[in-house]
Amino acid sequence: MNPLEIGETLDHYRLDKVVARSGMATLYRATDLNDEREVAIKIPHPEMESDPILLERFRREQEIGQELDHPGVVKTFDGEERSRMYMVIEWVEGRLLRTILNEERELPIERATNLVLQICDALDTMHKHGVVHRDLKPENIMVDDQDRIKLIDFGIAMKEDARRITFVDMSATLGTPDYIAPEQVKGQRGDQRSDIYSLGVMFYEMLTGEPPFRGPNPLAVMNERVLHDPEPARDRRPEISPALNEILNRALERDPRRRYQTASEMALELENQELVGVDDGASRPSAQRGKLPNARRMLLYAGLALAPIAIFALMVMLARR
């Protein structure tokens, strides 16, 4: 099908403006001519409609948006005949969290905490419905004038009871390098704890003005998060309390078993920081940074011990020639 122009009508929707383009679809701001309501229209690219994997993802995103009913999650609409494949989404006023961070860098601690608590609440509802976002990042969070948030773009979200439709050729699209959880970097499917890790990265960025890991390219960034723990946020911004620093540490645990297991668990500690125990021992990520796990350290020592033997064997072989 030919691309649609601004001002054209798609069924009873007038396309008013291109809002965004991705590798999968174009998002328009539109007007429902039946009631003059503003909506967003997401139209898949023509090549996507012939790709069964991408098409299934599009349908799943629409299904998730219809199923979830939470003020912090964008809603999609259905229940009408359509002349082609597209998605009708509620129009959300506000600014992307990415825009806010670009303009303000560090946010006030109280404001950042309030935003994260709202995201926790939205995630809790999603996760209880078996939905994992898998691509939480500032570009996928809208913030209105009253600082109310709304999660958007469920393009690579997963339903835990859905069949697996990804993975070899599509793995590069699962998540964004700055925010993806270590287990996703390793090729695992991820679960609600992966969303919590991504939320921890965003919280860290809200508080310090930059993500916890940096590198010359996306692969270097992903490698850093698999091998190392981040520099403590409190080292970058001393007014962060020890309790809040500990909450960040736990959200950013590399091992999902040591991370917050639910979004509500993280929210509970954020709301009751006076009850958060601060671990100053070796279990803190700051203390572990740069240290090799025991198994890897043993392998290193074994390699060093075997090196003289290998060199001696090589000399014997050369002497016999």
Of 62, 90, 118, which closes a domain?
Answer: 90
Which of the listed residues 90, 112, 135 is the one where a domain comes to its end? 90
Question: Do 133 and 151 contact (CB within 8 A), yes or no?
Answer: yes
- Please indicate whether residue 135 is annotated as part of the active site: yes
Q: Which is the catalytic residue, given 121, 124, 135, 178?
A: 135
SS (H, E, C) 40-77: EEEEECHHHHHCHHHHHHHHHHHHHHHHCCCCCECCEE
CATH of the domain at 31: 3.30.200.20
* Mean pLDDT, rounded, for 293-302: 43
Within-domain flag for 312: no
300 within domain boundaries? no
Task: Give the Å distances, CA to CA, from 227 to 131, 175, 288.
Answer: 28, 18, 10
pLDDT in tens, 213-265: 888 888 888 888 888 889 999 999 999 999 999 999 999 999 999 999 999 99
Percentage above 70 pLDDT, the chain: 80
Same domain, 164 and 266: yes
What does pTM read for this prediction? 0.80
| Residue range of the domain that includes 267 | 95-294
**Looking at residue 306, what is its pLDDT?**
45
Let me know whether 110 and 259 are in one domain.
yes
> Could you tell me if 107 and 85 lie in one domain?
no
**Per-residue pLDDT tens over the stretch 112-131:** 999 999 999 999 999 999 99
Please give the pLDDT value at position 2.
61
Q: Which two tokens stand for residue 60?
A: 């799943």
318 in a domain, yes or no?
A: no
Count of the separate structural domains present in the chain: 2
Of 90, 106, 122, which one is at a domain's C-terminal end? 90
Q: Does pLDDT of 21 surpass 90?
A: no
**CA–CA separation, 91 and 41 (whole Å):** 9
pLDDT value of position 283: 40
Token pair of 250 as six digits? 């736990």
